[in-house]
Amino acid sequence: MEISKNNETLVTTKHDYDRASELKAFDETKDGVKGLVDASVTNIPRIFHHKIDKDSSSTSTNINKLVVPSVDLVDIQQDPTRRKIVVEKIREASEKWGFFQIVNHGIEVSVLDEMKNGVIRFFEQDSEVKRELYSREPLRPLVYNSNYDLYSSPAASWRDTFYCFMAPKSPKPEDLPSVCRDIMLEYTKQVMKLGNVLFELLSEALGLNPNYLNEMRCNEGIVMVCHYYPSCPEPEMTLGATKHTDNDFITVLLQDHIGGLQVLHENSWVDVSPVPGALVINIGDLLQLITNDKFKSVEHRVVANHVGPRVSVASFYSTSFQPSTRLYGPIKELVSEDSPPKYKETTVQDYVEFSMARGLDGTSPLPYFKIGNVV
């Protein structure tokens, strides 16, 4: 039996098998989901069985063929008229979708390709080498495992992950995986440059001085989270990632051509379809908090696939692992008598630790930070 916290109510999930032992046995292989696929399983173990919400599990519910907004960043530094158009598009997307894709963002396709290849090299290297790195200690410079919330989530997801803290403190090169070290450093450099531009545009979209969010140091920290979603023999029984919101300021996501990422929009799941050369940007909980709900951190998930592996690289703008006493609350320019602050101030670390302790149970921790709520 397992107890998971879902909003204010405790939901009890009963299993007619010894789930704890099966989770432990899977974890102890240190081979992740990829290990199961390498062993040619044809039925997925029951620890991966999800109760999938049938009403919203399929994109076929998206009958209007809604498309996640796409923003072309070409010429925004030279052409003020174009910049204005782009800022307006970003404002609308951040308010209504919490997601948008960007093209002409300045990172070359060869760098994006090499980053994805680097992730594939990591996961497809010798399992002995990977086993050495497998751990559940969240503050190691490199953490590799399957399902960070394996023991607390209602069902395991069909993916393996590694992550590294790339900024503000540069990692020691020897702490990064040798098979993708160089590209991780190069890609981070470029994502950080892009991050400065994005936070300028987001500041402008909020009607603030372009430097506002960068001066608040939203751009300072990056956790690079690299996911590997192996091909799944029974994709309809599980998910690649359960419904969640991101606990950061923004996420810059590089996905490959396979697809599977979906965003919840007006009660239906909408595919974030892969666009060659594009990056997906999504608003995280902390940006929703400091914008006093003007920008939305929206739930998303990844469906499992049978044509993978699929890889993605999520660069989380967060300083969660560099303890700082800096407090983040609703931006004073965005609150007024008519629109009073909705959230308490929090450090990034407190927010993220609270969120991680809850796991990906599908509900956002943001309501717990509302004024009047006791955390």
- Give Cα separations from 131 to 29, 122, 123, 241 (angstroms): 8, 12, 11, 22
Return the one option of ligand AKG, Fe ion, none that residue 302 interacts with (CB less than 5 to 8 A, by type).
ligand AKG
Contact 223, 166 (CB under 8 A): yes
Please name the amino acid found at residue 29: T
Instruction: Out of 19, 300, 342, 358, name the contact with ligand AKG by CB under 6 A.
Output: 300
Instruction: Out of 166, 302, 304, 366, name the contact with ligand AKG by CB under 6 A.
Output: 302
Q: Measured from the CB of residue 284, what is the shortest distance to Fe ion in angstroms?
A: 8
Q: Measured from the CB of residue 18, what is the shortest distance to ligand AKG in angstroms?
A: 30
SS (H, E, C) the chain: CEEEEECCEEEEECCCCCHHHHHHHHHHHCCHHHHHHHCCCCCCCHHHCCCCCHHHCCHHHCCCCCCCCEEECCCCCCCHHHHHHHHHHHHHHHHHCCEEEEECCCCCHHHHHHHHHHHHHHHCCCHHHHHHHECCCCCCCEEEECCCCCCCCCCCCCCEEEEEEEECCCCCHHHCCCCCHHHHHHHHHHHHHHHHHHHHHHHHHCCCCCCHHHHCCCCCCEEEEEEEECCCCCHHHCEEEEEECCCCCEEEEEECCCCCEEEEECCEEEECCCCCCCEEEEECHHHHHHCCCCCCCCCEEEECCCCCCEEEEEEEECCCCCCCCCCECCCHHHCCCCCCCCECCECHHHHHHHHHHHCCCCCCCHHHHECCCCC
Q: Measured from the CB of residue 318, what is the shortest distance to ligand AKG in angstroms?
A: 11
Q: Write the interaction track for ligand AKG spanning residues 244-263; mark x where CB under 6 A is met and - where it is not.
A: --x------x-x-----x--
- Give Cα separations from 326 to 30, 55, 168 (angstroms): 37, 42, 15
Decide if residue 241 touches ligand AKG (CB under 6 A): yes
Q: Write the interaction track for ligand AKG spanning residues 105-144; mark x where CB under 6 A is met and - where it is not.
A: ----------------------------------------
Task: Find, among 362, 370, 245, 363, the residue nearest to 314 by Cα.
Answer: 245
Q: Measured from the CB of residue 314, what is the shortest distance to ligand AKG in angstroms?
A: 4
Decide if residue 278 touches ligand AKG (CB under 6 A): no
* Residue placing its CB nearer to ligand AKG in the complex, 212 or 316: 316
Residues 176-235 that bind ligand AKG (CB under 6 A): 225, 227
Decide if residue 314 touches ligand AKG (CB under 6 A): yes
* Residue placing its CB nearer to Fe ion in the complex, 200 or 246: 246
* Residue placing its CB nearer to ligand AKG in the complex, 91 or 227: 227
Return the one option of ligand AKG, Fe ion, none that residue 261 interacts with (CB less than 5 to 8 A, by type).
ligand AKG
Q: Write the interaction track for Fe ion spanning residues 336-365; mark x where CB under 5 A is met and - where it is not.
A: ------------------------------
Number of residues that bind ligand AKG (CB under 6 A): 11
* Residue placing its CB nearer to Fe ion in the complex, 160 or 246: 246
Decide if residue 248 touches Fe ion (CB under 5 A): no
Q: Measured from the CB of residue 225, what is the shortest distance to Fe ion in angstroms?
A: 9
Segment lying near Fe ion (by CB under 5 A), choices 67-75, 112-120, 129-137, 242-250: 242-250
Q: Measured from the CB of residue 375, what is the shortest distance to Fe ion in angstroms?
A: 22
Enumerate binding residues for Fe ion (CB under 5 A): 246
Enumerate binding residues for ligand AKG (CB under 6 A): 225, 227, 241, 246, 253, 255, 261, 300, 302, 312, 314
